[in-house]
Structure 1
């Protein structure tokens, strides 16, 4: 006998699917609309498939690196259709990058290596892209001086992405605690690094060294935030006061839009536009003269928020 589902049961199934999808996200506060509409749904389907067949998050991240680097190589060619294939490859790489985190949250399969790989994956993509664009422009007749803006833009991108990622995790730490955040600090990472052996753990120690440098860079650009995090961890060992969580979220949430602007979607949209116009050199200028001022503004605003809450906490206004 065939079983039929009632409208009520179908509604409940839809609600479960929506809830499962939302649980695979970090937080609506830190998600960009393009990601929620496009990349996260695709990533979720990839994550569901990987969970069914037993693929873990780290291999998904590694595969995304290959697709992202392949995209960069394809941007070297001056044939637009090859560039379009590169664009699709880069979009798929970002979908995989979304899927690895969603898969990790769905299966509770989180690891320090996964966090490190996720942090550096985008850097591999854009290193390949910057190298390819410099070589392409030299083939078009530009002098070797094009490597100067190419390299400056590359370092700019790495700082922009590192700080955006850091501020997102700080926000998640305040609203979700340590379980909902991937916030690290150089002090703990240094202890882990020192405990490793170059002889027996060469690969992991090298990765740990790179990640330690990455974290120190984030901390260098956020001195007031470091003071805030230190006092918070010393004062609220059993969890943050609800009023502090509410107040921090209210003041810090508006800054999340800047972390989105300097991340993947904005730069890639403009990169694609300039590739279509065959004016790829503008991408370097955009990174340096548009995204860097936004980065500076983001850092200044975040430091202002951090300074405010440091004063409030040390004054005893969040003791309850």
Structure 2
């Protein structure tokens, strides 16, 4: 009887340890999508723990995910569903690695700005390869070269959507956890650090600087809100912080919708029904309006908050 009780206690301790490790590997449950919680994060944690034992760095995992994701995208060129399914599985694996790199960085406290940048652009490589492969596939099927216009508009839409989703999530984490729990950046700080790097890292920093400029250009009222935070430390009251989190938590679902999972689920549907051109239209006419709605909600909150503060003063 005592032996059974001890075995039960051991199982409970192991389960608590695993749960604590899983929680520590997440940025925040508020910003995580359910598909990630159920699928990608558990797989990513296993990969992260294996990499930690083998002394594999987060950047190595990210670079591996880029190669696998690009190969996956290339496989969508062929109008053969079995080849496409292999591409789908590789893309899922690439995203599992992309989840694992961040979890590994948080578990081992091996974080770096270059790793953050590399992780941020990984998806752009995957979806760039997908857009090129689908365009060539459609051209081979007899489509006009004008399909490349759709591909470029879709690609630019994807870049902006990803940039804004990432920006708002990290802003939320900044209010939730402060500097230590967020990767929130601004273009001026990034610009100052460009000269600290050389070669490919310098190129990555310049790319990331442009990335942050896109984020800031699309959110003028948020920039005024952040400027007030920087110049007036007392502006960040507990009430303001809590109000921001309450107002922005519902917006996190929209940042997830315009990211990987929704886009890929519908990409797979379009491939299964043999209509890959719908991928471009979905990006442009479905995900873009969702992004614009997200931006408008955030901008409206910042404008209203600044007006209320000015009125009270």
Q: Does the TM-score normalized on the shorter chain lie above 0.5?
A: yes
SS of equivalent to 1:29: helix
Q: Does 1:281 align with 2:282?
A: no
Q: Which residue of 1 aligns with 2:139?
A: 138
How many angstroms does 1:23 deviate by? 1.1
Alignment root-mean-square deviation, CA? 1.7
How many angstroms does 1:240 deviate by? 4.4
How many angstroms does 1:191 deviate by? 1.2
Deviations 1:109-168 (CA, angstroms, capped at 9, x unpaired): 110100110110000000000000000011111111111111111110110011000000
**How far apart are the structure 1 equivalents of 2:105 and 2:233?**
28
Q: Does 1:229 align with 2:236?
A: no
In 2 relative to 1, CA 229–171 (structure 1 residues): closer, same or farther, beyond 3 Å? same
Q: Matches of residues 65-214 of structure 1 in structure 2 within 5 Å?
A: 65-193=66-194, 195-196=195-196, 201-214=198-211
Q: Which residue of 1 aligns with 2:289?
A: 293
Q: Which residue of 2 aligns with 1:51?
A: 52
**How far apart are the structure 2 equivalents of 1:311 and 1:101?**
38
**How far apart are the structure 2 equivalents of 1:29 and 1:12?**
26
Aligned with residue 309 of structure 1, among 280, 305, 308: 305
Residue-pair matches, total: 310
Q: Which residue of 2 aligns with 1:249?
A: 245
- TM-score norm. by structure 1 comes to 0.93
Q: Matches of residues 5-20 of structure 1 in structure 2 within 5 Å?
A: 5-20=6-21
**How far apart are the structure 2 equivalents of 1:119 and 1:225?**
21
In 2 relative to 1, CA 180–134 (structure 1 residues): closer, same or farther, beyond 3 Å? same
- TM-score norm. by structure 2 comes to 0.95
Deviations 1:94-122 (CA, angstroms, capped at 9, x unpaired): 00000000000001111010011011000
How many angstroms does 1:246 deviate by? 1.7
How many angstroms does 1:6 deviate by? 3.0
**How far apart are the structure 1 equivalents of 2:309 and 2:89?**
48
Deviations 1:233-253 (CA, angstroms, capped at 9, x unpaired): 33338x943332221111100
> Gaps (5+ residues) in structure 2?
none
How many angstroms does 1:206 deviate by? 1.3
In 2 relative to 1, CA 312–87 (structure 1 residues): closer, same or farther, beyond 3 Å? same
How many angstroms does 1:7 deviate by? 1.3
Greater helix content:
2
